[in-house]
Structure 1
Amino acid sequence: MLTLTNIRRPNSAQSETLTIENGLIKGWNLPVEGEVIDGKGATVAPALIELHAHLREPGQEVKEDLQSGLAAAAAGGYGTVVSMPNTVPVVDDPAIVRALIEKANGLGFARLRPAAALSKGQQGKQLAELSLLKNAGAAVFTDDGRTNEDARLLRLGLEYAHSLGMVVSVHAEDATLRADGVMNEGPVSEALGLPGNPAAAESARVARDIEISAFTGGRLHIQHLSTARALDLVREAKSRGVPVTCEVCPHHLTLTDEALRGFDAVYKVAPPLRTQADADHLLLGLLDGSVDCLATDHAPHTRAEKEQDMLAAPSGIAYIELAFPLMWTRFGERLGLEKLLHLFTAGPAGVLGWTAPTLEPGQPADVVLLDLETVRKVEPQTFKSKAKFTPWAGEELRGWPVLTLVGGQVAYQRD
């Protein structure tokens, strides 16, 4: 038995208690018993859900592993994480899916729901054993990290996944249009003399994939949407009933290609940081519901890799620990707490067809307490992640998680 006292529901000033028993919500404002944790006025919400994180295990543990990545997720307020399959070896074998889940269950941090590769080896040539992967516990099928160049394979994947009640998630970017681009193509890339990745690389592929989804009826999820045009395509497709969803990442909302003027590869991501006009348009998509959820695309690399020049450095930003504080500080007033929490919880759950998390009696006790007022400086050296550097180092943010429970057990508690 665990009781959280002195906590507040979103947009309420009333102090309440929440009792948890056997991993489930027992009820509100019951007699206090068992272990007691004083919430000190924090706001209580369902633990966040991350649909898009690179935890690098197996094979790339020098960058991140399940222990560091899931601990980082719990510190960020996440109760469930969907990990991407572009590891070494690729997660295209049911045995790997089962092994990852078993190991994660023994760590006591965020819950792991691995994504499995859509194609064998993520080579885009032959479908993986999707039914077996689903039965092993795969949450979604994706070749993320690689683009699906073969339209016929995507068609077959969407049809097969649809028959299994599953979603196909895509990195929607035309590799031939992207070519060797390392940043957004535009005035900044031209001024810096760096090869550009045009917005059309994303919108052209989004248009193609939407048409395949409409044709097959398969559920398509578009990852890390970065351009205004691509969002307009998704909005139009939804208006005519195409089963398409999309996510936007906080880095595409809070950073632009202007950040690359210092040639610092910490800002190199795929798809790249775009223009302020794109970022503003994506924010409107959050407000009008065109964007289904927020996801971080947490992508840790070693410091040595990111200290290479812009052409050689890998793409990716790791910041799962500060995604909610970043969004709350930058956009909380405009989005409102209820909308923002939806984008981090019910939104991602809905993309994969999961039941929306709540704090009603009988529901799983995946809970986060958020300190919405206290300002804390971003200190990368304290990150649980192995990637202890970030574009937002030194920035003062509000909305930090102070406690994360997963299945009623403490997965993170701020000192």
Structure 2
Amino acid sequence: MDQALTIDSGDTAWMLVSTALVMVMVLPGLALFYGGLVRAKNLLSVMSQVLGITAVAILSWVGWGYSLAFSDGSAWLGGFDKLGLAGIDGSSLWAVGSAGAAIPELVFVAFQMSFASITAALVIGALVERVRFAAVMLFSALWLTIVYAPLAHMVWASTGLLFAMGAIDFAGGTVVHINAGIAGLVGVAFAGPRIGHLKEAMPPHSLALTMVGAGLLWVGWFGFNAGSALEANGLAAVAMVNTFVAPAAGVLAWMGIERLVSGKPSMLGGASGAVAGLVAVTPAAGVSGPVGAMLLGAVASLVCYGFVGSLKNRLKLDDSLDVFGIHGLGGIVGSIGTALVALPMLGGHGGVGFAFGHQLLVQIIAVAVAIAWSAAGSALCFALVRRVTPLRFDREREREGLDLSDHGERAYNY
């Protein structure tokens, strides 16, 4: 324990709350958001997958994920000295921004554990209604080890490659959203489309559940973004305000373009716009001003709408719940746009002498590394899973619905 550090009780309390808020994003937030978007015969399957992935992420994070991500190591990967959280107890400290201030390292472990949980759970949204529970569990354990932990180390660890380059990812634009979006896209390539894709109607069975889930995601996102300050201070306040305004702009942008195109703004469009705005502001939450955050949220929402509303079907891409279309693209827009909204002239917090051109180049490099790492690593994980267990059931059992086929239960008597 470093005797120069002292636990700040206020910061610790804030981080405990933030960690709980991020877990609310996963359970029940993401489970409800995804659950409402699938057909009724697959509701429990989706919720079971989110629940199971969360459990896998928690245990693997304690076992080896945290050590690989946040212990000292190379530029690409951490070491093995904290496997099983070895050497970490209630007296171990994690330094935060203020000189001499710290929080218990176990609180930092738990906060980052919640990030790993939601990132792995996001991926499955691209593959719902067709991929088996066993395959999802095995993939999640492999992916958190091979893809997530190394990328988290590169971006957030002091010895990490992208951290040393000066890449800005305040709360997970690359590590969480681009990473999950690209992994989902790779998964679609391996699993193939659902039976009846683009031939049969596959409407969401309960947009009410989706709206409740979206609301819980937005509320939990305050812990996600403002908690990434690691302190209860002005930086957390900046991130919190940006987490209000970016999704608000995303809601109105998506519903506004729907109104122009189809004449009817939809609730699902509003919820999708909110998530797109939240995704986009995640990497920039600590460096953007409110005006920049609103701009980022609106632009990302329109970009995601363009892909989800038109290009996805033209490409015949069955990204079931638009993980790439919203998280992947929203993360790319937000990560690159971080360089722009950090400009002082836009109210950003890049500081005097902020070099926009250099920062833009660094952000683009970080995005490219995240895409390449996630694509290659995710392909390896899916290939390994496919050698161990089938990704899908036969056509008859898939048409029956994964609630009965995979879990022997169903949500409704239909």
TM bin (shorter chain): under 0.3
Relative contact order higher in (CA < 8 Å, ≥ 6 apart): 2
Output the TM-score relative to the length of structure 2: 0.26
Output the TM-score relative to the length of structure 1: 0.26
- Structure with greater proportional helix content: 2
